[in-house]
Amino acid sequence: MTEARFFEVLLWIWLASAPVIFFSLFFIAAPYGRYRRGGWGPELDNRVGWVLMEAPSPVLFAVLFWLGPHNGIATAWAFLAMWLGHYIHRSFIFPLRMRSGGGMPLSIALFGLLFNLGNAYLNARWLFHFSGGYAEAWLLAPQFVAGVAVFGVGFGINRWADHVLRSLRAPGETGYKIPRGGLYRFVSSPNYLGEIVEWCGWAIATWSLPGLAFALWTFANLAPRARAHHRWYHESFPEYPSERRALIPKLW
Protein backbone atom coordinates (compact mmCIF):
# COMPACT_ATOMS: atom_id res chain seq x y z
CA MET A 1 0.00 0.00 0.00
CA THR A 2 1.37 3.44 -0.86
CA GLU A 3 1.48 6.11 1.82
CA ALA A 4 -1.08 8.16 -0.12
CA ARG A 5 -3.53 5.24 0.01
CA PHE A 6 -2.81 4.66 3.71
CA PHE A 7 -3.42 8.35 4.41
CA GLU A 8 -6.73 8.28 2.53
CA VAL A 9 -7.98 5.13 4.31
CA LEU A 10 -6.97 6.45 7.73
CA LEU A 11 -8.70 9.76 7.05
CA TRP A 12 -11.98 8.06 6.17
CA ILE A 13 -11.72 5.82 9.24
CA TRP A 14 -11.16 8.98 11.30
CA LEU A 15 -14.18 10.76 9.85
CA ALA A 16 -16.42 7.70 10.15
CA SER A 17 -15.47 6.94 13.75
CA ALA A 18 -16.30 10.42 15.11
CA PRO A 19 -20.09 9.76 15.20
CA VAL A 20 -19.48 6.32 16.78
CA ILE A 21 -17.41 7.94 19.55
CA PHE A 22 -20.03 10.66 19.96
CA PHE A 23 -22.94 8.27 20.56
CA SER A 24 -20.88 5.82 22.67
CA LEU A 25 -19.73 8.53 25.06
CA PHE A 26 -23.32 9.42 25.93
CA PHE A 27 -23.55 5.94 27.49
CA ILE A 28 -20.01 5.46 28.85
CA ALA A 29 -18.21 8.42 30.45
CA ALA A 30 -14.45 8.09 29.92
CA PRO A 31 -13.18 6.91 33.33
CA TYR A 32 -10.83 9.73 34.31
CA GLY A 33 -11.32 12.74 36.58
CA ARG A 34 -14.66 12.63 38.43
CA TYR A 35 -15.72 9.46 36.53
CA ARG A 36 -12.64 7.47 37.52
CA ARG A 37 -13.74 3.96 38.50
CA GLY A 38 -12.48 0.39 38.66
CA GLY A 39 -12.63 -2.17 35.88
CA TRP A 40 -10.46 -0.33 33.35
CA GLY A 41 -7.16 -2.10 34.11
CA PRO A 42 -3.99 -0.78 35.75
CA GLU A 43 -3.69 2.93 36.51
CA LEU A 44 -0.91 5.47 36.37
CA ASP A 45 -0.59 8.94 37.89
CA ASN A 46 -2.91 11.23 35.95
CA ARG A 47 -0.24 13.87 35.34
CA VAL A 48 1.99 11.20 33.79
CA GLY A 49 -1.04 10.00 31.83
CA TRP A 50 -1.66 13.47 30.36
CA VAL A 51 1.98 13.85 29.31
CA LEU A 52 2.04 10.32 27.85
CA MET A 53 -1.07 10.82 25.75
CA GLU A 54 -0.50 14.43 24.61
CA ALA A 55 3.26 14.89 24.19
CA PRO A 56 3.60 12.61 21.12
CA SER A 57 1.32 15.00 19.22
CA PRO A 58 3.61 18.09 19.12
CA VAL A 59 6.66 15.86 18.65
CA LEU A 60 5.22 13.97 15.67
CA PHE A 61 3.77 17.15 14.16
CA ALA A 62 7.17 18.90 14.40
CA VAL A 63 9.00 15.88 12.91
CA LEU A 64 6.55 15.72 9.97
CA PHE A 65 6.93 19.48 9.49
CA TRP A 66 10.68 19.03 9.31
CA LEU A 67 10.39 16.07 6.89
CA GLY A 68 7.68 17.64 4.73
CA PRO A 69 8.71 18.98 1.35
CA HIS A 70 6.56 22.10 1.83
CA ASN A 71 7.90 23.47 5.07
CA GLY A 72 9.79 26.47 3.73
CA ILE A 73 6.66 28.60 3.31
CA ALA A 74 5.53 31.12 5.96
CA THR A 75 2.07 29.50 6.01
CA ALA A 76 3.61 26.20 7.14
CA TRP A 77 5.35 28.00 10.00
CA ALA A 78 2.04 29.63 10.99
CA PHE A 79 0.33 26.21 11.21
CA LEU A 80 3.28 24.84 13.18
CA ALA A 81 3.05 27.77 15.63
CA MET A 82 -0.70 27.20 16.15
CA TRP A 83 -0.28 23.48 16.79
CA LEU A 84 2.71 23.83 19.10
CA GLY A 85 1.10 26.81 20.87
CA HIS A 86 -1.76 24.55 21.91
CA TYR A 87 0.04 21.27 22.44
CA ILE A 88 3.13 22.44 24.33
CA HIS A 89 0.74 23.90 26.89
CA ARG A 90 -1.56 20.84 26.93
CA SER A 91 1.29 18.30 27.09
CA PHE A 92 3.66 19.86 29.58
CA ILE A 93 2.22 22.93 31.35
CA PHE A 94 -1.40 21.84 31.94
CA PRO A 95 -0.48 18.46 33.56
CA LEU A 96 2.16 20.02 35.81
CA ARG A 97 -0.29 22.64 37.06
CA MET A 98 -3.19 20.22 37.64
CA ARG A 99 -4.47 20.10 41.18
CA SER A 100 -5.71 16.53 41.22
CA GLY A 101 -3.64 13.77 42.68
CA GLY A 102 -5.66 10.87 41.30
CA GLY A 103 -4.86 8.17 38.84
CA MET A 104 -5.93 7.44 35.29
CA PRO A 105 -6.39 4.04 33.62
CA LEU A 106 -3.44 3.18 31.42
CA SER A 107 -5.98 2.06 28.79
CA ILE A 108 -7.37 5.62 28.57
CA ALA A 109 -3.89 7.13 28.29
CA LEU A 110 -3.04 4.63 25.52
CA PHE A 111 -6.27 5.38 23.67
CA GLY A 112 -5.48 9.11 23.90
CA LEU A 113 -1.94 8.43 22.71
CA LEU A 114 -3.19 6.51 19.66
CA PHE A 115 -5.69 9.24 18.82
CA ASN A 116 -3.03 11.94 19.11
CA LEU A 117 -0.57 10.06 16.91
CA GLY A 118 -3.18 9.49 14.19
CA ASN A 119 -4.48 13.04 14.43
CA ALA A 120 -1.03 14.66 14.31
CA TYR A 121 -0.07 12.40 11.39
CA LEU A 122 -3.18 13.25 9.37
CA ASN A 123 -2.95 17.00 9.95
CA ALA A 124 0.82 17.40 9.54
CA ARG A 125 1.14 15.06 6.58
CA TRP A 126 -1.69 16.89 4.84
CA LEU A 127 -0.34 20.38 5.53
CA PHE A 128 3.32 19.75 4.74
CA HIS A 129 3.12 17.02 2.12
CA PHE A 130 -0.12 15.82 0.49
CA SER A 131 -1.72 19.27 0.13
CA GLY A 132 1.15 20.35 -2.09
CA GLY A 133 1.80 23.20 0.35
CA TYR A 134 -0.22 26.30 1.20
CA ALA A 135 1.06 29.30 -0.73
CA GLU A 136 2.02 32.45 1.15
CA ALA A 137 -1.08 34.14 -0.28
CA TRP A 138 -3.13 31.79 1.94
CA LEU A 139 -2.08 33.96 4.90
CA LEU A 140 -4.44 36.64 3.56
CA ALA A 141 -7.26 34.30 2.48
CA PRO A 142 -10.56 34.89 4.31
CA GLN A 143 -10.59 31.27 5.56
CA PHE A 144 -7.15 31.61 7.11
CA VAL A 145 -7.79 35.01 8.69
CA ALA A 146 -11.20 34.00 10.07
CA GLY A 147 -9.92 30.57 11.15
CA VAL A 148 -6.98 32.02 13.07
CA ALA A 149 -9.32 34.51 14.80
CA VAL A 150 -11.72 31.70 15.81
CA PHE A 151 -8.79 29.54 16.91
CA GLY A 152 -7.46 32.40 19.06
CA VAL A 153 -10.84 33.02 20.70
CA GLY A 154 -11.25 29.30 21.48
CA PHE A 155 -7.70 29.04 22.79
CA GLY A 156 -8.29 32.05 25.09
CA ILE A 157 -11.59 30.65 26.41
CA ASN A 158 -10.09 27.20 27.01
CA ARG A 159 -7.04 28.52 28.85
CA TRP A 160 -9.11 30.90 30.97
CA ALA A 161 -11.73 28.28 31.86
CA ASP A 162 -9.09 25.67 32.80
CA HIS A 163 -7.41 28.33 34.96
CA VAL A 164 -10.69 29.01 36.81
CA LEU A 165 -11.13 25.28 37.53
CA ARG A 166 -7.56 24.97 38.74
CA SER A 167 -8.01 27.94 41.07
CA LEU A 168 -10.96 26.26 42.82
CA ARG A 169 -8.65 23.96 44.76
CA ALA A 170 -5.98 24.91 47.25
CA PRO A 171 -2.78 22.85 46.92
CA GLY A 172 -3.49 19.34 48.21
CA GLU A 173 -7.29 19.67 47.95
CA THR A 174 -9.13 17.13 45.81
CA GLY A 175 -12.87 17.93 46.12
CA TYR A 176 -15.10 19.77 43.67
CA LYS A 177 -16.69 23.25 43.93
CA ILE A 178 -19.05 25.23 41.74
CA PRO A 179 -17.07 27.36 39.28
CA ARG A 180 -18.46 30.87 38.87
CA GLY A 181 -17.98 34.02 36.79
CA GLY A 182 -17.42 34.82 33.13
CA LEU A 183 -18.63 32.12 30.79
CA TYR A 184 -19.35 29.88 33.79
CA ARG A 185 -22.46 32.00 34.27
CA PHE A 186 -23.77 30.50 31.03
CA VAL A 187 -22.35 26.98 30.70
CA SER A 188 -20.94 24.24 32.92
CA SER A 189 -17.95 23.46 30.68
CA PRO A 190 -16.55 26.58 28.97
CA ASN A 191 -13.17 24.82 28.79
CA TYR A 192 -14.76 22.25 26.45
CA LEU A 193 -16.59 24.99 24.54
CA GLY A 194 -13.26 26.80 24.04
CA GLU A 195 -11.54 23.62 22.87
CA ILE A 196 -14.30 22.92 20.32
CA VAL A 197 -14.23 26.53 19.04
CA GLU A 198 -10.44 26.34 18.81
CA TRP A 199 -10.38 23.27 16.56
CA CYS A 200 -13.26 24.59 14.46
CA GLY A 201 -10.95 27.57 13.86
CA TRP A 202 -8.21 25.16 12.87
CA ALA A 203 -10.55 23.40 10.43
CA ILE A 204 -11.44 26.76 8.85
CA ALA A 205 -7.84 28.02 8.72
CA THR A 206 -6.55 24.80 7.12
CA TRP A 207 -9.74 24.32 5.03
CA SER A 208 -8.96 20.62 5.00
CA LEU A 209 -10.57 17.24 5.72
CA PRO A 210 -7.99 16.34 8.39
CA GLY A 211 -8.77 19.67 10.09
CA LEU A 212 -12.50 18.97 9.86
CA ALA A 213 -11.99 15.45 11.23
CA PHE A 214 -10.15 16.89 14.24
CA ALA A 215 -12.95 19.41 14.92
CA LEU A 216 -15.55 16.61 14.68
CA TRP A 217 -13.57 14.36 17.02
CA THR A 218 -13.20 17.17 19.54
CA PHE A 219 -16.95 17.76 19.50
CA ALA A 220 -17.64 14.00 19.66
CA ASN A 221 -15.38 13.68 22.70
CA LEU A 222 -16.40 16.75 24.60
CA ALA A 223 -20.13 17.34 23.99
CA PRO A 224 -21.20 14.09 25.76
CA ARG A 225 -18.73 14.80 28.56
CA ALA A 226 -20.09 18.34 28.95
CA ARG A 227 -23.58 16.87 29.34
CA ALA A 228 -22.30 14.36 31.91
CA HIS A 229 -20.53 17.16 33.86
CA HIS A 230 -23.70 19.26 33.78
CA ARG A 231 -25.80 16.42 35.19
CA TRP A 232 -23.14 15.61 37.75
CA TYR A 233 -23.08 19.24 38.98
CA HIS A 234 -26.87 19.23 39.35
CA GLU A 235 -26.80 15.91 41.26
CA SER A 236 -23.91 16.99 43.48
CA PHE A 237 -24.94 20.59 44.29
CA PRO A 238 -28.64 21.28 44.97
CA GLU A 239 -27.87 25.02 44.74
CA TYR A 240 -26.33 24.67 41.24
CA PRO A 241 -27.50 27.62 39.06
CA SER A 242 -30.54 26.45 37.10
CA GLU A 243 -30.09 28.90 34.22
CA ARG A 244 -26.67 27.47 33.35
CA ARG A 245 -26.55 25.21 30.26
CA ALA A 246 -24.16 22.31 29.58
CA LEU A 247 -22.09 23.58 26.65
CA ILE A 248 -23.85 26.12 24.43
CA PRO A 249 -24.98 29.35 26.15
CA LYS A 250 -28.80 29.67 26.36
CA LEU A 251 -29.33 26.57 24.22
CA TRP A 252 -27.94 23.27 25.50
Q: Between residues 50 and 134, which has the closer beta carbon with respect to ligand NDP?
A: 50
Give the shortest CB-153-to-ligand NDP separation in angstroms.
14
Give the shortest CB-8-to-ligand NDP separation in angstroms.
23
* Dist. CA 67–CA 62, nearest whole Å: 9
Q: Between residues 71 and 198, which has the closer beta carbon with respect to ligand NDP?
A: 198
Q: Between residues 132 and 239, which has the closer beta carbon with respect to ligand NDP?
A: 239
Q: Between residues 67 and 248, which has the closer beta carbon with respect to ligand NDP?
A: 248
Q: Between residues 177 and 231, which has the closer beta carbon with respect to ligand NDP?
A: 177
Give the shortest CB-9-to-ligand NDP separation in angstroms.
22
Contacts of 181 (CB under 8 A, 6+ apart): 164
Which residues contact ligand NDP by CB under 6 A? 33-34, 98, 100, 102, 158, 162, 165-166, 168-169, 176-177, 179, 191-192, 195, 218, 221-222
Give the shortest CB-25-to-ligand NDP separation in angstroms.
10
Give the shortest CB-187-to-ligand NDP separation in angstroms.
12
